[in-house]
Structure 1
């Protein structure tokens, strides 16, 4: 009789990868005591210790190192079998997707109708939050995947690239400093750059763009949404960075002008993140493909780019 379960091997793989009981439990979506109990039961069944447990560190024993490639091979085969068996019903049921605030309002309007038309049984549940919060939610099993900007330094996650978009500069329409774009990276006007508050990845990207000037306006102004920043710009309070996907909605704001940067224009890479050993890889791959198609269609239709 086989007494070793796939669940135990999955917990073993997660602990071997993280070497931390709390993080491994979060990765598997269970409590730490439940994971510890399953690891202990696996060790009892195999008749050996798989981990050295110290007060501040966890490490694989020699037996653990021997078991790891075998466990990985078994789990890969099981996941492949499960995916094969589920293929006829893929893209059905509940899927919890997170998005950062500088992507959600601009990507969802074209994406949601495409999802409803292509996969009507796909029940998408959405969460908008900052990258650190989405990362924690994914590791805790509260969401199935999220869309954000690269890079994210978290070894328990894997990223599927979606697309790369350019940055532009939003300025007051009557601003004399921007009569002749494109904007060079050392333009004095960038000293008037206004940023989103701490925690937004767009803030860090804006600072990375403006390495040759020292923004002054950011000390006086801040906002929690790009929409608020654009309204501030339209009223002459400064300038701000805007991603390509937000350009169409920005064009509807009176008193606002969008201008390009000098080549090479700054960009950001967008990706779909999932847990490294997650079981919804097929759905994530299908969703990523649809997002790429939606973005490509948006570009070809002239949405998300400046008019020629």
Structure 2
């Protein structure tokens, strides 16, 4: 049994297809199939049902895949620990959800370049579900997401709580109103991000707690697009305070909601068993310091 065979098996399990697994593993499909067949012969068990183009783990395969994932995880940890020399370059891969990434990652990377010159940062912006799985599978060292989140595989460390604020266009009829209650928004047209966004889910829960369902007029993939529509007066939006930009004042007015102000809690997630390199530990301290500065602003 070879480690590369284990990697091939995991690639098939993740892609559900021998051809795509071969592409992901940078090997020809016949070679991958041959190695998996050799492993099955050695184990005396089929690991996958071949259902046309689909590959579905057998019962034995499901057990083996979980063990293989643990083995490769520990091998990766051992290699990372051995290579973790403070005199050499270190690369850290971090992720963040779309409502955090553009407002936090640029400042972090800039600080890191000055204060941790031996650390190189690779970043990924994606929704929380994808980031959680990437951290759990060891593809990311850490990720910035919004709670609540439960996953026994992960360390979840809250680091920042910020209010959510109402955004309206300067020419919107509500722009002259200084304070709003949640019920004041029941008849308004909302501009939101897609259903996969944790911010959208939180806004829907907030409105539901005040006995109304938000009337959504526009859905956007990015906060920048959402702000443009708000600036045009096409609806209102609820955004995290981090999303406010000095340039927004020409087109957008931000207001705080009266009563119970909605907030969101930002957390950094890491794998509980993944070896944390010196570079990752130093970067985490820098990350915490950066969020403290946001809180002081």
Which TM-score bucket, shorter chain as reference?
A: 0.5 to 0.7
Which has the higher mean CA deviation after the structures are superposed, 130-139 or 224-233? 130-139
Superposition map of 1:107-126 within 5 A: 107-126=104-123
Deviation sequence 1:177-221 (CA, Å, 0-9, x none): 84345x33xx132432422353651333332322222333x32x4
Q: Figure out how many residues of one structure are paired with residues of the other and give that number.
A: 286
Residue in structure 2 matching 1:104, options 98, 101, 105: 101
> Which of the numbers 232, 235, 238 marks the counterpart of 2:235?
238
- Contact 1:251-1:258 at 8 Å conserved across structures: no
1:196 — aligned with what? 192
Question: Is 1:60 the counterpart of 2:59 in the alignment?
Answer: yes
More strand, by proportion: 2
Equivalent residue number for residue 212 of structure 2: 213
Rate the CA distance shift 1:129–1:75 in 2: closer, same or farther, 3 A: closer
| Aligned-pair CA distance for 1:136 | 9.8
Unaligned stretches of 5+ in structure 2?
Answer: none
Matched, 1:262 2:264: no
Of 64, 69, 75, the residue aligned with 1:78 is 75
Checking the alignment, whether the CA contact within 8 Å between 1:195 and 1:203 is kept in structure 2 is: no
Q: Quick one: distance in 1 between partners of 2:248 and 2:235?
A: 17
Distance verdict in 2 for CA 1:30–1:161, change over 3 Å: farther
For residues 67 and 235 of structure 1, what CA distance do their matches in structure 2 show? 52
Contact residue 168 and residue 241 of structure 1 kept, 8 A: yes
1:305 alignment counterpart: none
User: RMSD of the alignment, in Å?
Assistant: 4.9
Normalised by the length of structure 1, the TM-score is 0.65
Is residue 148–residue 270 contact of structure 1 (8 Å, CA) maintained in 2?
A: yes
CA contact (8 A) 1:16 1:60 kept: no
Deviations 1:128-161 (A, max 9, x none): 5566887899999998775444578999x96754
Q: Give 1:179's aligned residue.
A: 178
Aligned residues of 2:165 and 2:256 also touching (Cα < 8 A): yes
Runs (5+) with no aligned partner, structure 1: 303-308
Are the equivalent residues in 2 in contact too, given 1:50–1:60 (CA < 8 A)?
no
SS of 1:123 mapped into structure 2: strand
Structure 2 match to 1:8: 5
Q: CA deviation at 1:86?
A: 1.5
Q: 1:235 to 1:47 in 2, by over 3 A?
A: closer
Q: Is the 2:158–2:268 Cα contact (8 Å) retained in structure 1?
A: yes
Shift of 1:120: 1.3
Which of the residues 222, 226, 230 maps onto 1:225?
222
Given the alignment of the two structures, is residue 49 of structure 1 paired with residue 45 of structure 2, yes or no? yes
For residue 61 of structure 1, give the secondary structure of its aligned residue in structure 2: helix
Alpha-carbon distance in 2 for matches of 1:236, 1:77: 54
Equivalent runs, 1:99-178 vs 2, <5 Å: 99-128=96-125, 147-149=144-146, 160-161=156-157, 163=159, 164-171=161-168, 175=174, 178=177
- 1:87 corresponds in structure 2 to 84
Please tell me whether the aligned partners of residues 92 and 121 of structure 1 are also in contact (alpha carbons under 8 angstroms).
yes
